[in-house]
Amino acid sequence: MVPVSHCAIFEVTKSSTMAVNYLTIIVSFIILLTMAGTASLVPQPQIQKTAKTQLMEQSIKYLGMWVTADGYIRQELLPNGRYDEARGTKKSAYTGRYEVSGDHIKYRDDTGFTATGDFKGNILYHGGYVFYREVPTKEKKQLIPDTYQL
């Protein structure tokens, strides 16, 4: 027969183990509830847009070919932030970089010369010239009048 003192120790040990197990379960449950309740409060990592990305996004609506009414000057705004300007029969007469901020454009050609311009609807005012957006069609290229909205 087992002594009474031994049984009492066994019962205490058994109840202590059960208490620790219950306590572990309760603490785990509380931690899970806390994490679930605050998951939306934890700041989510956001992709920071670089200045270059923001400038590219602003210039997207102005990409493409801009032409004077007589067709003498043809300026193409490229998606990589560069421009290529032809004058008469001379291709790439001027090349360089551009940045668009709102409806304002800043140019810096490859020689270091700088200029600015402003977009008003589908017209670009730049360097004393008026440029119109050119849209290629199947038959021919067509200038978009100011009243046309893209």
Mean pLDDT per block of 10 residues along the chain (150 residues) reads: 51 56 62 53 59 68 95 96 97 96 96 97 95 78 52
Tell me what pLDDT residue 26 has: 66
Tell me how far apart the alpha carbons of residues 99 and 95 are, in angstroms, rounded to a whole number: 13
Tell me what pLDDT residue 136 has: 72
- Residues 144, 133 contacting (CB under 8 angstroms): yes
Burial class (CB in 10 A: 0-12, 13-18, 19+), 85: buried
Tell me what pLDDT residue 142 has: 59
- Residues 61, 100 contacting (CB under 8 angstroms): no
pTM above 0.85, yes or no: no
Instruction: Report the candidate in 101, 2, 109 with the shortest Cα–Cα distance to residue 61.
Output: 101
Tell me what pLDDT residue 150 has: 42
Tell me what pLDDT residue 135 has: 80
Tell me what pLDDT residue 55 has: 59
Q: Which two tokens stand for residue 109?
A: 């050609």
Instruction: Report the candidate in 82, 76, 95, 85 with the shortest Cα–Cα distance to residue 55.
Output: 82
Burial class (CB in 10 A: 0-12, 13-18, 19+), 84: middle
Tell me what pLDDT residue 15 has: 57
